[in-house]
Amino acid sequence: MKQSPRKPVHSPDRRDGARRPDDEDWWNDVLHDPRARAPKQNYLDGPSRFRLDQQNERIECRCRCGLHHWMDRDKMLGQVGGNINVLYLVREWMPCRTRNKMANFCEAYVVI
């Protein structure tokens, strides 16, 4: 009597292929991935979705103080150039209500 070859048993605990070790390094890789962070530079070299020239014609800006403002991209391109970081631009140019003489800080952001 000839026996048929045994088929591998697949269970939920078994997985084909290599498996990464069970440690926290993979999570640290995710948290520190430079592609996931917003750039902190005022002017950006190379392609980025945060460059002014990569934005829509009208840029929607909001602040945590409740202010809602629209900026015209083409007008801003003539004034500051296309490689400026829109996050920096909005925080500097937004007429925010939370600015004061001691701390000229604004929490405005661009709705992308």
pLDDT digits (tens, 9 = 90+) for 22-43: 677 777 777 777 777 778 888 9
Domain parsing of the chain, residue ranges: 42-110
Q: Which residue has the tokens 């500051």?
A: 80
pLDDT value for 74: 93
Tell me the pLDDT of the chain averaged across its residues: 79
Res 102: pLDDT = 67
Q: How many residues can be counted in the chain?
A: 112
pLDDT of residue 77: 92
Q: Which residue has the higher pLDDT, 14 or 45?
A: 45
Tell me the whole-structure pTM to 2 decimals. Answer: 0.61
Count the helix, strand and coil residues of the chain and give each as a percent rounded to the nearest 5.
25, 15, 60
Instruction: Report yes or no: 52 and 81 within 8 Å, Cβ to Cβ.
Output: yes
**For the segment 49-75, what is each residue's pLDDT rounded down to a tens digit?**
889 999 999 999 888 888 888 989 999
Task: Point out which residues pair with 69 in neighbouring strands.
Answer: 61
Q: Which pLDDT score is estimated for 53?
A: 92
- Closest to 89 measured CA to CA, from 97, 103, 77: 77
- Give the 3-state secondary structure of residue 84: strand
